[in-house]
Copies of this chain bind each other. A is one copy, B any other.
Amino acid sequence: MSAQLTIGDLAARTGLAVSAIRFYETHGLVHPLRNAGGHRRYGRADIRRLSFVMAAQALGFGLSEIAAQMAHLPAHKAPSKSDWSRISKGFRADIDARIAALESLRDRLDSCIGCGCLSLESCALYNPADRAAASGPGPRYLMGEDPD
């Protein structure tokens, strides 16, 4: 058991490109060992670490945020059930928040459709607070800094 994986193996298992895995390493997301020849050797736990990265990315987290979360996980061992549970609950809370924001946006948009949105002041879509909330931890850079 615990056969070492090459970067190519890991790429095949995760669906990531080899270059992406190396890139993630430079950002502290994986910490492979090296064999005598200098080649990276991964453990099976790294498959799960990278899966976690992909899932978190899909939720809109940036790599630095993901790295911060992962810093609490053991580097070379599979995360324990409690490690995983804590992080999963954080995900869950985030997903809930994003659903709530989208529902709020949807409700407001419905009134927009009705009114023809001729009044900018009352338009649900033109509401900086809503826009910020709607994307949650999502693509922040799409929104500028503060709605000021």
Interface of A toward B, CB cutoff 8 Å? 15-17, 47-48, 51-52, 54-55, 57-60, 78, 81, 84-85, 88-89, 91-92, 95-96, 98-99, 102-103, 105-106, 109-110, 112-113, 116-118, 120, 123, 125-126, 128, 130-132, 134-135, 138-139, 142-144, 147-148
B88→A112 contact, CB < 8 A: yes
The main secondary structure of chain A at its interface with chain B is helix
Q: Are B143 and A57 in contact (CB under 8 A)?
A: yes
Q: How far is the CB of A114 from chain B (nearest CB, A)?
A: 9
For residue A95, which residues in chain B have a CB less than 8 angstroms away from its CB?
102, 105-106, 109
Given the interface contacts A51-B120, A88-B112, A125-B51, does A131 sit within 8 Å of B99 by beta carbon? Answer: no
Evaluate contact between A143 and B102: CB separation under 8 angstroms. no
| B54-A131 in contact (CB<8A) | yes
